[in-house]
Amino acid sequence: MAWQRSENPWPCVLIAGEGFRGLPARLKAWCLANGAPETIPFFVSNRPAQFLDATSALQVRQAVEKMVEEHGRPKQLIVDTLSRCFGPGDENSTTDMAAFVNALDDIRLSLGCSILVVHHSGLSDKSRSRGSSVLKGALDFEYMLEKNSDGMRTLHCKKAKDHEEPASIVFKPETVCLGWVDQETGEEMTSCVLCKERTTTNQRTRPRLTGANKVALEVLSKLLEEKAEQSKGKINLGPAGAHIDDWRDAAYSASITTSSDLGAKRKAFGRAVSALTEKGFVGTENDYYWLI
């Protein structure tokens, strides 16, 4: 591997798996936006690694160790992305993901640095990272970056192993003029950086709901609205919330699954109730449910 060089100590190393053409513009934009010199100790690989391949993993270690001789030990190694640097394996496999984690651990322990892995969320469940849960189990911290409806991005903590979860941070995308001219168009080139806008409360941002979870929550909300409307002007001494039987029947009627099979409907509803409860969307007691 080849690296972009810097004479400053305490470098950071990026194992880039994609986006090589746009990386120089992104790095320059970040330097301009943060008032940092372009000689910051940031080293970028010229190709992805394959950490499940022993030869490729060894090449990464050797390349970084050679860099260490000239510039000192890195404070952080970034793998971007897991998918492009995974290698010949299946990220859904417990065995393969464990091997990936072990390969990174070998490098982390030999260099004495932290490792940041950039990973994608799941396709059907965007509240969790894609692939085997072995990865999350090995993490000290896990963060998720979400795009909000107003275009802002919110970074919130999904796991803090030995610490209190830090507050979420909201970022605003900003366009930065690079001072470079596009040779094809003659126009000045730009890139984007995320600028900190504000810090939110310490409460974890809840994921956006889709599929059966979204249907079930909408049905429960409607049931509670109807119950509140019916109880107006009346003394209501009954339990709070909607009963599980009423919620289930309404969810079936709202097509919580496209299947007409009763067993499939029952499973879809059960999974949705569990997910909504675990993720803090609903509260429950004695088979009655309400919105949080």
Domains of the chain (ranges, CATH numbers): 1-139 (3.40.50.300), 141-208 (no CATH), 211-291 (no CATH)
State residue 142's pLDDT score.
Answer: 94
Taking the C-alpha atoms of residue 4 and residue 26, their distance in angstroms, rounded to an integer, is 14
- Say what the pLDDT of residue 111 is: 87
Give me the pLDDT at residue 201, please.
55
- 216's CB contacts (< 8 A; 6+ apart) are 247, 251, 256, 269, 272, 273, 276
- pLDDT for the residue numbered 1: 44
pTM of the complete model: 0.66
pLDDT value at position 233? 53
Determine the pLDDT at residue 37.
84
- CA 39 to the chain's CA centroid: 30
Angle ∠(77,12,103) on CA atoms, nearest 5:
15
Ranges of beta strands (E only) in the chain are 12-16, 42-44, 76-80, 114-118, 141-147, 153-160, 169-181, 188-199, 242-243, 282-285, 288-291
What does the pLDDT read at residue 7? 44
The reported pLDDT for the residue numbered 206 is 61
In angstroms, rounded to a whole number, what is the distance separating the alpha carbons of residues 195 and 170?
9
Full pLDDT tens readout for the chain, 292 residues:
444 443 445 789 999 998 899 999 999 999 999 888 878 889 999 999 999 999 999 999 899 988 888 888 899 999 999 999 999 999 999 999 999 999 999 999 988 899 999 999 877 677 788 899 899 999 999 999 988 878 889 998 889 888 888 888 899 999 999 999 998 899 999 999 999 888 775 444 566 788 999 999 999 999 988 887 776 655 444 556 889 999 999 999 999 988 889 999 999 999 999 989 888 788 887 888 888 7
* pLDDT reported for residue 237: 43
Which of 195, 189, 175, 82 minimizes the C-alpha distance to 132? 82
